[in-house]
Amino acid sequence: MLGDMREKRWLLYGASGYTGRLISDECARQVGLAPTLGGRDEVRLKALAEARGWPHLAIGLDDAGALAAALRDFAVVLHCAGPFSTTSAPMRAACLASGTHYLDITGEIDVYVEAHAQHAAAQAAGVVLCPGVGFDVVPTDCIAACLKEALPDATALALGFNGVDRLSAGTTVTSMEAVFRGCARVRLGGRIVDVPFGERSRTADFGRGPEPTFVIPWGDVATAYFSTGIPDIEVHVPARSASARAIRALVPLRRVLANAPARRWAHALLRKVAAGPTTAQREKERAMVWGEARNGAGEVRRATLETMNGYTLTAATALMAVRHVLEGGSAGGYFTPSRLMGSRCVERVNDGGRIVLG
């Protein structure tokens, strides 16, 4: 059980990154959600914390004992420091050791699979593990859950989105790591399998009429299965989108950047040139999330959801999850967003946008 001294204290780790700053800005607008700002860079954290009047904690992820000891002062960690393929495991381990609830904003398939495998340990520790409380994967997970409710015997699920074309440095680095696998990933017969980029294309309507799509290795390949049990799942973006173009451009560079020094150089370069959308761009841009469920008899149900800009939505949904867990909304264990907060939870923070079933 979490002690009374820390029951409302939470740590925003990775606070000096692009998305961490957006979440910090949103915290300042909400009542009762002031965090401790966490990360590895003492200088940047101190400047941010002093500007807000909030405490800060500079600590790395490499000393498991020190990290677990520090987390005993917090009820919840919202982990925003990627790439999560590297950073999530030590933070989750520290949370399980300290009895601290764990949330993050990853979109990485393997992170979800690893967290799901820790369900029993999380239950025993009374710790909530809920990775993916941002645009990855709250809106798509809600779409998946609503389609499962509408078509309970669905056997195939396709999800997709558009309008996420300007990426932050952290998102770009994470995406590049996925591309280095050299293939997309889908779920077939309940198993995650690799498929070549460019295969399994189809058409989908993202609000502009039917258009060709490009399959990507998105987190719902893991999470939508955990939420719905549907055995065949794939995720698409429009073939002409910036995301699809970036993947096609990066795939040929896999061999050039295969060794560790070259990849570190590429990461450093991306962190300098990928600034993420500006405030004006975020206010202007909208995203469309789409889903289609199909059963063995050929029945089809579709759903759409228009959302605010993906980074803006991430700040809103991440803090919705923090508030939910701080208020004691769930027992310990692994959760997807829709399992933690409900199949339409995204509607509570999405500026009036609602899931439309058809």
Structural domain spans, the chain: 4-134+312-342, 138-310
Q: What is the pLDDT of residue 3?
A: 47
**% of the chain residues with pLDDT over 90:** 72
> What mean pLDDT do residues 9-33 have?
95
User: What are the C-alpha distances in Å from 101 to residues 21, 106, 127, 212, 237?
Assistant: 21, 16, 5, 40, 32
Topology, domain 138-310: Dihydrodipicolinate Reductase; domain 2 (3.30.360)
> What mean pLDDT do residues 4-20 have?
87
267 Cβ neighbours under 8 A, 6+ residues apart = 173, 176
Rounded Cα distance, 80 and 103, in Å: 9
156: burial class by Cβ within 10 Å (0-12, 13-18, 19+)? middle
Inform me whether the pLDDT recorded for 273 exceeds 60.
no
Inform me whether the pLDDT recorded for 20 exceeds 50.
yes
Inform me whether the pLDDT recorded for 134 exceeds 70.
yes
Q: What is the pLDDT of residue 1?
A: 42
In the DSSP assignment, the letter for residue 272 is: H
Rounded Cα distance, 51 and 47, in Å: 6
Q: What is the pLDDT of residue 275?
A: 62
Neighbours of 192 (CB within 10 A): 16
Pick the CATH number of 4-134+312-342 from 3.30.390.50, 3.40.50.300, 3.40.50.720, 3.40.50.10420: 3.40.50.720
Which residue intervals of the chain are DSSP H helices?
Answer: 18-29, 42-52, 64-71, 84-98, 109-117, 119-125, 138-150, 169-179, 220-228, 242-250, 260-273, 279-284, 310-326, 337-341
Of 3-7, 18-22, 325-329, highest mean pLDDT: 18-22
3 Cβ neighbours under 8 A, 6+ residues apart = none
pLDDT-derived band of residue 7, with 50, 70 and 90 as boundaries? confident
Inform me whether the pLDDT recorded for 248 exceeds 80.
no
pTM exceeding the 0.85 threshold for the entire prediction: yes
What is the average pLDDT score of the chain? 90
C-beta separation of 128 from 211 below 8 A? no
pLDDT-derived band of residue 9, with 50, 70 and 90 as boundaries? very high
> What mean pLDDT do residues 93-112 have?
97
Inform me whether the pLDDT recorded for 276 exceeds 90.
no
> What mean pLDDT do residues 71-83 have?
95
> What mean pLDDT do residues 219-231 have?
98
> What mean pLDDT do residues 145-170 have?
87
Q: How many residues does the chain have?
A: 358
pLDDT digits (tens, 9 = 90+) for 113-133: 999 999 999 999 999 999 999
> What mean pLDDT do residues 313-342 have?
95
109-117 and 84-98 helices, crossing angle to 10°: 20
User: What are the C-alpha distances in Å from 81 to residues 2, 12, 84, 257?
Assistant: 24, 10, 7, 22
Neighbours of 268 (CB within 10 A): 11
> What mean pLDDT do residues 181-196 have?
91
Inform me whether the pLDDT recorded for 66 exceeds 70.
yes
Q: Which of 345, 319, 337, 325 is nearest to 137 (CA)?
A: 337
What single-letter amino acid sits at 175?
S
